[in-house]
Amino acid sequence: MGPVTGEDGIDRCPWAGGPGVMRDYHDTEWGNRAHGEAAYLERLTLEAFQSGLSWSTILNKREAFREVFAGFDAEAIAAFDDADAARLMNEPRIVRNRLKIAAAITNARATVALREQGGLEAFVLSFAPDRPPAPTTTAEMTTTSPESVALSKGLKKRGFAFVGPTTMFALMEAIGVFDPHLVGCHRRGAGGA
């Protein structure tokens, strides 16, 4: 399936065809280049929490995630202890998964450690594909790439958790490491990747 035309007459990727949080995310953020450690840590954390769930579930809980994870300040999260993990497990406004909460804390600590090697943003961007995909239909879209596999291995080697190749591919799409929009979507080429 190629881009779909919404009731507003605008062509979009099929998953964002109707009004709502998914369309808003598609039109304003997905595929735009993100900047800064907190932005990268937020997307990395949210992609991990999304695993096995719908992205709309995460988007609807995003403000609560930002609140309980200290605005995705890596040093603040890295200082979380067992009491903080228990607090998060009792927070009904977020996805309560013990392993994903532990991974978020682990990843914040790994993000702080990665500063010595240029930081999370530079590390992720170093895996940008030389020849980014340009799918015209959803059938041409993939869920992993050689670059996402390499990024996954690189992050795991540096102590990160819940960073599998599919999750890293979704991260790369979300933060504009490459343009994820279908050819013909009004957002194709607009993200600055």
The reply to whether 121 belongs to the active site is no
Active-site choice (37, 47, 147, 173): 47
Determine the 3-state secondary structure of 83 from DSSP.
helix
Active-site choice (15, 29, 55, 91): 55
- Packed helices 37-50 and 165-174: angle between N→C axes, nearest 10 degrees: 130
How far apart CA 68 and CA 84 sit, in angstroms, is 9
Read out DSSP for 85-139?
Answer: HHHHHT-TTS---HHHHHHHHHHHHHHHHHGGGT-HHHHHHTT--SS----SSGG
Active-site choice (25, 37, 42, 121): 25
The reply to whether 40 belongs to the active site is no
Annotated catalytic sites, by residue? 25, 47, 55
